Amino acid sequence: MRTDETRADEARADGARAAGAGATGEGVPVVRLEEVDPGVRPERPVARIAVLVSLNFPDLTEPVADLVRTFTSTALATLVGLEATFELFDTSTALADPSTVAELDGLLVLGGGDVDGSLYGCYDTSIPNSYGVDLRADRDTIAALEVVVAAGRPVLAICRGAQLVNVAGGGTVIPDIEDYRLHRGGPGEPMFVDEQVTIVDGTRLASLVANHRLTVRSGHHQAIDRVADGFVVSALADDGIIEGIEHRERWILALQWHPEDPAGPDHDRLGIFEAFVEAAAKGLAAWPRS
């Protein structure tokens, strides 16, 4: 049930979007679907993937808009290359019915702005480096996650998507990593950096990548803090920051880094996406028994 408080939160979020990247005023970058759609689909798709992403969000700058275009188009092209088709649900605007996402075979949740702190118990309005907060989009994504998991669909979530998976399960987020040097560039530097992560032995993620030490692409100032019930840590940065979690039983994989960054290694992206598409094609609600 939508309470007065919920309506007030949504009104504030709508106002922020109108003032931010969702607007179409002069000088405001707007990412359009046709800029990220690969323009082709497999003739006989093995699976249908729902893709959730906010192509536009508050505080969006042109350099970040370029990242949204690049990462989203790479993710979609990778799905098509693996003979999957997709439907993109742009959470820049409200989802009419989040339950429709569960009608497809799997859910891919891409990155974006920060997760609203109120969703994990942080009500500090002065979080350093905060950007792109969109409470309504967060709530829509969590609602979609809930129906998809209830329907037994596999989930692959990246960056903001990974944090929302954790929050949806009752976990929390580090609002701002004070010593960010391993995870993103500093002032005047490119946002994304090469980061070394260690894959935890015995996890499902370990079976999807070639090595237990990976060089990945990261550009984040937030990260998963307390892990949600039912999940385990699957990847760690050298400073102990969580870079990946996975559900113990259900096919849910959440990665803080960006395997869909084309500047990263293709083989790791393909290994992860291929396993996800295969799970969607087979209708796997849980990890296959080893």
Active-site choice (183, 221, 247, 258): 258
Active-site choice (10, 122, 159, 195): 159
Closest by CA to 216, choosing from 188, 240, 245, 192, is: 192
Q: Is 260 designated active site?
A: yes
Task: Give the HSE-up count for residue 278: Cα atoms under 13 Å, Cβ half-sphere.
Answer: 9
Three-class SS state of 245: strand
Containing 143, the helix (H) or strand (E) segment is helix 135-150
Active-site choice (195, 243, 246, 260): 260
CA distance 254 to 285: 15
In this structure, what token pair is assigned to residue 22?
A: 């969702």
CA distance 205 to 219: 21
Q: How many CB atoms lie within 10 A of CB 103?
A: 14
Contacts with 249 (C-beta within 8 Å, 6 or more apart), sequence order: 230, 286, 287
Answer whether 268's CB lies under 8 Å from 169's CB: no
Q: Is 122 designated active site?
A: no
Answer whether 184's CB lies under 8 Å from 129's CB: no
Closest by CA to 10, choosing from 173, 151, 138, is: 138
Q: Is 159 designated active site?
A: yes
3-class SS string, 68-120: HHHHHHHHHHHHHHCCEEEEEEECCCCCCCHHHHHHCCEEEECCCCCCCHHHH
First to last CA, the chain: 42
CA distance 64 to 132: 10
Instruction: Point out the residues that are catalytic.
Output: 159, 258, 260
